[in-house]
Structure 1
Amino acid sequence: MTLLSKEILNSNILHQPLPVHDEQSYETLELKKSNVGIEKIIFDQNHSVLWKHEGRGALIKDTSTAGFIADSRYDSWAKGAPKDGDYVNFGEAKIITEFNRSDWSEYNQISFEILASCKNMINPNVTVSFVNDGTIKIPDIYDREGYHVINLKGEDWHTYVLDLSNLPREAIMSMAIASGANGSYMNLPGKLSYQIRNIKLQKNNLISHAKGWKASSNELIYSHIGYQTTSEKKSILWSPKHQYADFQLIDVTTGKVVYDGKSILKKEIVGNYRIFDFTDFTNEGLFVLETAGLKTDPFTIMAFDKLYGDSIWRSLNFIYCERCGCPVSGIHGTCHEDVVATFENETITFNGGWHDAGDLSQQLIQSAELTLNIIEMSEQYRESDPMLSRRLLEEGEWGIDFIFKTRLANGFHVTSAGITRWTDNHVGNMDDAQARIGNHAYDNFLLAGILAKIGNLLPDQHSLIEKITDVAQEDYEFAQTKFEISPYVHEPVFWEHTYNMSNSLFAATISWASSMLYQRTKIKKYADEATRFMDVMLDCQEVVGIDLFDGKKLQGMFYRDAGKKIFQHFNHQSRESMYAMALEGIIISQSKSKLVDDWKKSAVLLGSYYKYLKEFTQPYDMFPSGVYQMEEYQDQESFNRQHLLVGESAKEEYQIQLKNAVKIGQNLYIKRFPVWFSFRGNNAIILSAGRASAILGNLLQDQGLTDMAAGQLQWMVGKNPFNQSMVYGEGHNFAQQYTVSSGEMVGEMPVGMQTFGNEDEPYWPQFNNATYKEVWVGNAGKWMGLLSDLLKTEKRASK
């Protein structure tokens, strides 16, 4: 029995969080390989007097330490906070020390010791931040760069090291240590108390890089989890040297060489690298790849369902830890019973489902989509791993309960709440949070489709099937009534997860939801509506083709509407898979329709677009963001819907970002990463595109599309320029994320890789601010959704 299996049993099958092991974390591994060349102490007896205090609480200091103490809760909001307490905590305690344009350029890391002496706090943590007044200003205009959150260990002094190598630091003005007063465990009296000492600037001769496509020249880049037996298997080395031409696979169990191969030298614009291709090796087992003294950690080769089984347990652990309204042992008690909405003189408590992210906000649509992803995964493992399937089903039922709970009369739903604090659970006092209410056709169509598909997937005779079917039909009718009166009316609330909706995605969602209801009920009306809105969706697809500089035509991608002026993009959240889901739904449910060939042609075109995109991020498998036109920023309505919290310079930055992309035609560019501003991180984007590719691969029986889909998973578990896993506890070199509310959780996934400024190459510093390194349950759901479609393909292939 593996260690993970034992821990799953000890957790009562994930009714307690899995223990967090940080032995293979980025922070632990970096600390081990530290090789300090020069060092400068910047906190000594003379400097201790220079700390000042801001915000809540008070400064505490002596000749060798500085810190602060504050309450965890106050009876008023902090100065400048909104009066309704939306999306704020009770303030922040901070200490600051100034440096007067100090040049730190010769140092690439900072180390310090911190002591946490808190009481009744959930996840003691501090934010370390810097101000630089050099050529590149820190923080940036969106307050993303220059901030790092540390989840602290125990009530003792611990050393923490922060990589500064990618932080502009030639004119450092100040350094601050802060922590938010965001409530306490079950409203018990709480105290924040932190002290810092022994701050040292250091030059680490072995520091890791954090920007660009090139990986370290002494590291083999590979999928830390491993590879499926019958799929593509490749490793990458960024070195052209001849001694790395030959490689071997070694069986870890026997120590014997089981495969000899020769690498392929590639010379590209991004640099020279070697590919170690062992796709034709299909034996199962545990292996290492070795070449000229370099070797990987052990990885597995096995059937797909076994290969990713552990990652599903870990992802499910993360999801469980993010439960809202339910006590989670070791993290929080019953929570957010005073997040409320008022509807027709009634008060509704808006807790349940799962916390959205590193904060504690709640989104109905996010929880609903996650519910479907969990149920999809449960169905895939029903026969091969009944225990996993049943535990997934239990978690999915928690989500179904939340969907039902948030329904109001006549198509209204409680939809979302912005929360960053642990409220006191007492309704009627100042710290209550107000939830939003909406009645929007898109949300109701999407919810109807989600529930209908869940009904199609649940085990026969499940007690909720009839209820789910009734609710799905009701929500669909509410949506249809509203849509016929005011078609394509978009979500008006800035913070809702469907705010960036386009007409084409609207039509795709209606068609998909109609197909799901047709499968559930066999009522012809739903088939007719699926066909009607599929026609609308296909009117938004590029079928003629756009001329490119290389003589090819670019086809298959979707525009935001039938006017075909603005391409469909996603830059934070993503529902890109919906187009493929709609095609799959209608082709399967109406397989005898005379329009099936037309629908399949659309699927082929969309698949060709993904194949074209693949070439722009080689040797990695990460899906590029897609094709952009230079003039798109001039469309004010779509620009504002796609980009939240943008500055005045956003339209100018848009043009700069495209100029840093690859020009493929007249005013036409391929962006590897999205055009983005404040909200950054592309895991949702690549997982959603990956799911689209997996669906199309299965639908068209195209192994190339299937391999591309699996490549998105490999990118997230190590096969990226930084040799880092982005799934905490999977593989190795996984970094601490932005998890300020709940602390590190096994299986957590961040929003995703970002870029620096207006560049178009990967940027993944140790700094872990929102949004790029904020953990996000939606990505755990998209991980499961993509996996479930790949499992379908494996099952089909094995028949």
Structure 2
Amino acid sequence: MDSDIQLSVSHLGYRPSSPKTVTLVGAGPADLPERIPFYVRQNCFRMPRDVELPAGFSPRFPAPYDLLHGKLVPSEDTYYHRGELKRVASRWGACWQGDFTHFRQAGTYQVETDVQVSAPFMIQERLYDRLILGYLTFLRAQRCGDAVYGIHPACHLDDGVLDSDGSPWPVTGGWHDAGDFRKWMAFTLGNLDALATLHERLAPPLPILAEIAWGNRFFHSMITAEGQVFEDVAGGAAPPGSPFTYDRHWWFENHPGAYSDATDNRWTDNRPGSGDERKVRTTYNPLVQFAFVHNQARLERVLDGAEGAHCRKLAERAWQYGKRRGHDGRTLFVAAQLRAALELGTWSEAEQLAGELIQRQDTGRDGLSGYFLEKDRQEAYRSFAFAAEPALALLRFWELRQNQGAALAVRRYIEGYLLQDATSNPFALTPYGVYLKPPQPEKQLFRDAGRGRGVRTFVHPFNSLGMVPGTGSVLLSHAHLLARAGHLFSNREWQSAAERLLQWTLGHNTCNRSLFVGIGYRQPIGYSFRITQLPEALVSGFIGRPDDTPYLEEFCAIEWNTLEYWGVPYQHAVCALAFLERGEAVGS
């Protein structure tokens, strides 16, 4: 048995109705047969092998060494299901895959072959409750301005001062965004959407409303009397001596804050007025502005009485300010404004914005189609954090208004783009994005997307900033879309595709590693700048090498690209789970 060989499954497990794939991966011997039998058997009960029993041991207490030596000696009383791994030749190299989707019996299991054994997993209903519990635990640990027992003392009680003139602007509370202490509005507002979705769809016995209240304490302090929503707290600035400017370099691949340093990513003395307060960024960010509107308007239906009414009042104030300020028309801003209009119920504006988004969808017949373009149609829409945002906005429009044009656009995006390109790799990963003019093609691979365009599963590493983030948020935003659309359109294939993306993050991947801390059995070492371990965190996930093959840092050479804890993919994940699991809806 070669120790580099891994037998990858979802370490958490499967619902009875889930797709179930097992994949043998790794730098194993090239002489493995084309077909390899596999057996689903009881967790912890190894199958017998044709090895000589060493003196001093017995069948009751066998030798506890070299447990995978010898060939399996299967008999029907030692396993529940037998299948076959078949060799698959792919652009990521050879692997062996088998399917046991039709095995639905609840229990705890492992898959065993002659050459390797899988991690233990469960088959049961409400399996994903474990991830929902993990999300609430992670959010609690990420609280800023609160003492979190076992994690950190009360922090940043002196946040903050305005970056414009240094005057005090109290903004304690909220959540740290990732493996640091920065409070990005663009990335933490989505926690409200995730929490509200869980509350409405599943109503788990968890402190969801209390966590919403904690977040809103901060969010409500970030809006001015005129209605502007400030951009972040402690986001940082351009590194000294760098050529970066806010107007030209703040956004990269529809991701704000691309060049910011760690100037304010630090502990403070918690004493307002002492001089070490962190800065509140006062710039106008249309994504933040309309995400605030969308989430506060939605909370009117979740929170009772005066609390919900106050959220609505702030949403309307921010909406009016955002309309007055406007934006440059980029696709992400149009999608964010559409989601805001839908939650406010301003239907005429929503119809106009939805029509604009639909006009930006590629509908070509040669190659991939259904993806969205930017305003000038000179480039395709791509985003690290908000990959599915245009499609999610149009799906919500269909959900609320039954608009058939929106429904068709969502179908095109899923069928002609996501699922079409997912066939290009053995794990059915959806694409990062299309490139109308692939940059530096002599250095990095772009697969053919038709009409001279390129496509990658992972972010192109040779880019203008050298910024190469993991694509966990991309995959899980697609999982959210697929699960939600699958529920609304009664499409089981889409829901299965969503689960396959979740399973990738749970260990069914090329490294057999769960990307969730505390869930699964083989996790990478998370990147957390100030607090080395956060409970139940999710790392940012795989990046791609120049040839578009997956890479995950597996050693202690920690780097943020694949290993940083991040809340955004977790938000997408729990929204997907809410539409996969059955639960009684709460409220309207």
Match of 2:457 in 1: 672
1:219 maps to amino acid: Q
Name the residue aligned to 1:471: 314
Matched, 1:791 2:581: yes
1:294 to 96, 99, 116: 116
Indicate the residue corresponding to 1:147 in structure 2. Answer: none
* Structure with larger Rg: 1
How far 1:721 moved relative to its partner? 0.9
Query: Secondary structure of the residue that 2:535 maps to in structure 1?
Result: coil
Q: Which runs of 5+ in 1 are unaligned?
A: 1-32, 34-204, 207-215, 490-501, 519-525, 548-552, 634-653
Query: Which region of structure 1 is more displaced relative to structure 2, 675-684 or 736-745?
Result: 675-684
1:743-758 correspondence to structure 2 within 5 Å: 743-756=532-545, 758=546
1:455 aligns with 2:300: yes
Shift of 1:399: 0.9
Match of 1:510 in 2: 337
- Deviation readout 1:621-642 (Å, 9 max, x if unpaired): 33221322335x5xxxxxxxxx
Matched, 1:711 2:500: yes
Is 1:556 matched with 2:346? Answer: no
Take 1:329 and 1:681, find their aligned partners in 2: how far apart are those partners? 30
AA matched with 1:787: L
Larger strand percent: 1
Question: Does 2:550 correspond to 1:762?
Answer: yes
1:230 counterpart = 2:22? no
The TM-score normalised by the length of structure 1 is: 0.61
**Matched letter for residue 138 of structure 2:** F
Determine if the alignment matches structure 1 residue 774 to structure 2 residue 564.
Answer: yes
Contact 1:445 1:510 in 2 (8 A): yes
* Local SS of the residue matching 1:395: helix
Query: Counterpart in 1 of 2:226?
Result: 410
From 649, 655, 661, the counterpart of 2:441: 655
Deviations 1:331-387 (A, max 9, x none): 3222112332348996212221111222211112322111221222233331xx4x2
Quick one: which amino acid aligns to residue 737 of structure 1?
Answer: G
Question: In structure 1, which of residues 728, 737, 758 is the aligned counterpart of residue 517 of structure 2?
Answer: 728
Match of 2:390 in 1: 579
> Structure 2 vs 1, CA of residues 345 and 278 (structure 1 numbering), >3 Å: closer, same or farther?
closer
2:507 counterpart letter in structure 1? G
Mapping of residues 31-430 of structure 1, within 5 Å: 216=4, 218-238=5-25, 241-242=32-33, 245-252=36-43, 256-292=78-114, 294-303=116-125, 306-342=126-162, 347-382=168-203, 385=204, 387-388=205-206, 391-416=207-232, 417-418=234-235, 419-430=264-275
The match for 1:539 among 359, 382, 387 is 359
1:302 Cα deviation from its structure 2 partner = 1.8
C-alpha root-mean-square deviation of aligned residues, in Å?
2.6
> Is the Cα–Cα contact under 8 Å of residues 180 and 529 in structure 2 kept in the other structure?
yes
Q: Does residue 1:436 correspond to 2:244, yes or no?
A: no
By how many angstroms is 1:455 displaced?
2.6
Give aligned pairs, total: 513
| Structure 1 range deviating more: 343-352 or 663-672 | 343-352
Match of 1:613 in 2: 421
Deviation of 1:441 after TM superposition, in Å, equals: 4.1
Deviation sequence 1:306-327 (CA, Å, 0-9, x none):
2111122222222211111111
Whether the 8 Å CA contact 1:285–1:302 is kept in 2: the answer is yes
Matched residue of 2:544: which SS?
coil
Pair 1:252–1:795, CA change in 2 (3 A):
farther
Alpha-carbon spacing, 1:358–1:701, altered in 2? closer, same or farther (3 Å):
same
**What do residues 763-795 of structure 1 show as CA deviations (whole Å, max 9, x unaligned)?**
222221224312122232222222223336x88
- Write the distance in 1 (CA, Å) between the matches of 2:92 and 2:532: 37
Change (3 A) 1:774 1:440: closer
Q: Which secondary structure does the structure 2 equivalent of 1:471 belong to?
A: helix
Q: Is the 8 A contact 1:607 1:696 kept in 2?
A: no
In the alignment, is the contact (CA less than 8 A) between 1:441 and 1:480 conserved in 2?
no
Unmatched 5+ residue regions in structure 2? 46-76, 236-263
Letter in structure 2 aligned against 1:444: Q
2:72 equivalent in structure 1 = none
Give per-residue Cα distances to partners, 1:246-270, cap 9 Å, x unaligned: 2221134998522222333323343
Paired letter, 1:515: L
Q: 2:531, 2:208 → 1: CA distance?
A: 22
Q: What is the letter of the counterpart of residue 760 of structure 1? A: D
SS at match of 1:409: coil
CA deviation string 1:649-686 (max 9, x = no partner):
xxxxx4345x4232343532221211242242111111
Amino acid at match of 1:438: T
Given that residues 623 and 690 in structure 1 are in contact (C-alpha distance below 8 angstroms), is that contact kept between their aligned partners in structure 2?
A: no
Give the TM-score, by structure 2 length: 0.81
Amino acid at match of 1:624: P
Query: How has the CA–CA distance of structure 1 residues 579 and 699 changed in structure 2, closer, same or farther, with 3 Å as cutoff?
Result: farther
- Contact 1:543 1:556 (8 Å CA) reproduced: yes
Query: Given that residues 362 and 372 in structure 2 are in contact (C-alpha distance below 8 angstroms), is that contact kept between their aligned partners in structure 1?
Result: yes
Which residue type is aligned with residue 406 of structure 1? M
Cα 1:743–1:268 change in 2 (3 A) is closer
Q: How far apart, in 2, do the equivalents of 1:744 and 1:504 lie?
A: 36
- Give CA-to-partner distance per residue, 1:555-610, whole Å, 9 cap, x none: 2100012x32200112x3x212222222222112213xxxx222221121111111
Whether the 8 Å contact between 2:92 and 2:425 is mirrored in structure 1 is no
Inter-partner Cα distance in structure 2 for 1:471 and 1:707: 39
Q: 1:345 to 1:683 in 2, by over 3 A?
A: closer
| CA–CA distance in structure 1, aligned partners of residues 139 and 33 of structure 2 | 46
Displacement of 1:474? 1.9
- State the AA in 1 paired with 2:431: P
